């Protein structure tokens, strides 16, 4: 009974493992969406991008036996979908929220359509780095299996936060998001900035999808995402458009999601579905706790459609 030996300590450990494992797609999608929204555009289609990324990564990994090539292709597919969204939204009078939902349907539908042959076969997995070598407890070792993409995601979030604050590129992106008039006045091509920001955001989401199909849960099926892409977009608002806070929000969300299975494994079987809702309840509670009647959404880019 190795499982029982940890007792209640298994719950926080499982939450740590969940934070590391489940949060990676959230990190990628929310950091990508953060960049997109800071440039003044909302891309709700990232759910579709996530599914397309997952499907194409799985397909390529299956065909070439190289999971990292799959990740690259997923990023390229995400880039294309992001560029498509940006190009459509650039047309006058086109609503970016509605187009995003349209592209979400298109992306998920296309992923299901093209992904039918990939449901059964088993593609090679992205490996993991063992960070639990110092421990004798198998649960700890398992919890500290860290995928490369998780580390890349953290570095991306930190890098994006730094770049937005300190580089000329970051300034231009923020300017395009804050005020189109000011950006045009100093000669910034707003459309092109948003095109690039949305495309890169899409590429991030594609990589997030590759993580889903190639590492955890590590297979391709149609219920793979089940709304994670949308939730990640919501996390950006929750994180007040700050990449570092996106990272924390994703980790928190992943940890909360692991509560329910962890409690089950230590014998708490009542209210299974209730605990499954823990991440959403937690997000709602934190949103309510952090809101205030005096100030509206702090940190929101001025040109963002949802805030206007």
Partner 1 sequence: MLTGEVPFKGDSQVAVAMKHVREEVPDVQTKRAEVSSALAAVLETATAKRMENRYADDAAAILAFLGEVMATQPTAFTHALAALDLITEGVTEIAVAGDRPDLVAAVHGRANASLAVGYGYSGILVSFLARHNPMAIVPVAILLGGISASGGLLQRRLDLPDAAVVVLQGILFVAILASETLYGRPWSRLWKTREAG
Interacting residue ranges for partner 1, rule: CB under 8 A: 48, 51, 88, 91-95, 98-99, 101-113, 116, 191, 222-223, 225-227, 230
Nearest residue (CB) to partner 1, 110 versus 246? 110
> Measuring CA to CA, how many Å separate 296 from each of 221, 245, 299?
40, 18, 9
- 140-179: b or e for each residue (b if 16 or more CB lie within 10 Å)? bebbbbbbbbbebbbebbeebbebbeeeeebebbbbbbbb
Q: How near is the Cβ of 275 to partner 1 at its closest, in Å? A: 17
Distance of CA 219 to the CA centre of its chain: 18
Q: How near is the Cβ of 210 to partner 1 at its closest, in Å? A: 18
Q: Which residue has the tokens 């494994």?
A: 265
Of the candidates 28, 232, 222, 229, the one whose C-alpha atom is nearest the C-alpha of residue 111 is 222
Q: Which two tokens stand for residue 157?
A: 């979030």
Convert 24-85 into a string of H (helix), E (strand) and C (coil): HHHHHHHHHHHHHHHCCCCCCCHHHHHHHHHHHHHHHHHHHCCHHHHHHHHHHHHHHHHHHH
Nearest residue (CB) to partner 1, 132 versus 191? 191
Q: Which residue has the tokens 């650039």?
A: 90
Enclosing H/E stretch for 2: helix 2-6
Q: Say how far apart CA 225 and CA 245 lie, in whole Å.
A: 22
Nearest residue (CB) to partner 1, 265 versus 276? 276
Nearest residue (CB) to partner 1, 90 versus 179? 90
Q: How near is the Cβ of 305 to partner 1 at its closest, in Å? A: 13
Nearest residue (CB) to partner 1, 97 versus 140? 97
Nearest residue (CB) to partner 1, 52 versus 156? 52
Q: How near is the Cβ of 97 to partner 1 at its closest, in Å? A: 8
Q: How near is the Cβ of 100 to partner 1 at its closest, in Å? A: 10
- State the pairing for strand pair 145-147/128-130: antiparallel
Q: How near is the Cβ of 155 to partner 1 at its closest, in Å? A: 30
Check residue 271 and give left, alpha or beta (phi > 0: left; psi -120 to 50: alpha).
Answer: left
Q: How near is the Cβ of 2 to partner 1 at its closest, in Å? A: 33
Q: Which residue has the tokens 């793979």?
A: 224
Whether the Cβ atoms of residue 118 and residue 220 lie closer than 8 Å to each other: yes
Q: How near is the Cβ of 105 to partner 1 at its closest, in Å? A: 4
Nearest residue (CB) to partner 1, 51 versus 157? 51
Nearest residue (CB) to partner 1, 105 versus 285? 105
């Amino acid at each position: 009974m190795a499982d029982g030996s940890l007792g209640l300590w298994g719950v926080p450990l499982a939450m740590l493992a969940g934070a590391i494992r489940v949060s990676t797609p959230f990190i990628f999608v929310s950091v990508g969406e953060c960049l997109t929204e800071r440039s003044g555009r909302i891309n709700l289609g990232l759910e579709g991008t996530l599914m397309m990324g997952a499907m194409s990564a799985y397909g390529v990994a299956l065909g070439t036996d190289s999971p990292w090539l799959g990740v690259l292709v997923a990023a390229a597919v995400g880039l294309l979908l992001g560029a498509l969204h940006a190009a459509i939204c650039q047309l006058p009078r086109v609503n970016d929220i509605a187009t995003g939902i349209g592209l979400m349907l298109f992306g998920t539908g296309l992923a299901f359509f093209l992904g039918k042959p990939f449901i059964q076969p088993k593609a090679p997995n992205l490996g993991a780095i063992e960070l639990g070598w110092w421990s004798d407890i198998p649960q700890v070792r398992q919890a500290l299996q860290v995928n490369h993409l998780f580390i890349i995601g953290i570095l991306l979030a930190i890098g994006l936060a730094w770049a937005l604050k300190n580089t000329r590129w970051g300034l231009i992106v923020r300017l395009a998001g804050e005020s189109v008039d000011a950006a045009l006045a100093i000669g910034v091509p707003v459309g092109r900035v948003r095109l690039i920001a949305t495309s890169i955001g899409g590429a991030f989401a594609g990589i997030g999808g590759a993580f889903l199909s190639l590492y955890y849960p590590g297979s391709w099926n149609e219920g793979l995402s089940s709304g994670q892409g949308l939730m990640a977009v919501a996390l950006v608002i929750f994180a007040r458009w700050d990449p570092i806070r996106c990272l924390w929000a994703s980790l928190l969300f992943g940890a909360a999601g692991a509560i329910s299975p962890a409690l089950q494994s230590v014998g708490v079987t009542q209210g299974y579905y209730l605990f499954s809702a823990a991440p959403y309840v937690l997000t709602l509670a934190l949103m309510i706790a952090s809101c205030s009647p005096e100030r509206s959404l702090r940190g929101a880019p001025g040109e963002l459609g949802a805030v206007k």
